[in-house]
Amino acid sequence: MRKTRSYLLRRHKPGDMGWLVYRHGVIGWNEHGFDERFEVFVASIISKFIQHHDPRRERCWIVEMQKEVVGCVFLVKKSETIAQLRLLLIEPKARGLGIGAHLVKECVGFARRAGYRKIVLGTDNAAVAARHIYQKAGFRLISHKPHNFFGQDLIEERWQLTL
């Protein structure tokens, strides 16, 4: 665990994953109108992570403020040379503190140390703040196309960072 600013970054522990599915579902609905299929999508990513977790090449960071979970991000193995950033989430009350940028920086540093050559991620055009964080961290948009995300018509985006 590491104390930084007014929040703490730590690895996941029992109980975190259920919270992450729940909060992604609630925030996805409140902010983007995503239906319950979004929770199933998030749960499938988390399930795969837990079942096949390789701590040398994959990581989940949990963010706490005053002992309350307020965010997360995952870095998972896509291939031997490519990592994938997934499920970046910052609670509304914790936004604007640089937590998202700090989490992405942690992912990039970990990916470099783990020997990956690239990090990829998928998002959509509605995730304005996250897209800004990715761009500022050096990711570049490599493709985009119209797509229906969990009941909403959006633009699916694929981003990439060469390490």
Please report which helix (H) or strand (E) contains residue 148, including its range.
Answer: strand 140-149
* 147 contacts 41 by C-beta, under 8 angstroms: no
The predicted pLDDT at position 126 comes to 87
> What's the whole-model pTM score?
0.93
Does the pLDDT value for residue 4 go beyond 60? Answer: no
Which residue in 76, 84, 100 sits closest to 161, CA to CA? 84
pLDDT for residue 51 is more than 60: yes
**Listed residue (88, 70, 83, 133) closest to 110, CA to CA:** 83
2: burial class by Cβ within 10 Å (0-12, 13-18, 19+)? exposed
Average pLDDT score over residue span 25-47: 96
Q: Number of C-alpha atoms within 13 angstroms, CB side, residue 27?
A: 19
Question: Which CATH number characterizes residue 50's domain?
Answer: 3.40.630.30
* Domain, as residue range, for 124: 2-162
* pLDDT tier, 163 (very low <50, low <70, confident <90, very high otherwise): very high
Number of domains the chain is built from: 1
Residue pair 105/63 in contact by the 8 Å Cβ criterion: no
Give pLDDT tens digits for 111-156. 999 999 999 999 999 899 999 999 999 999 999 999 998 999 999 9
Residue with tokens 């992450």: 20
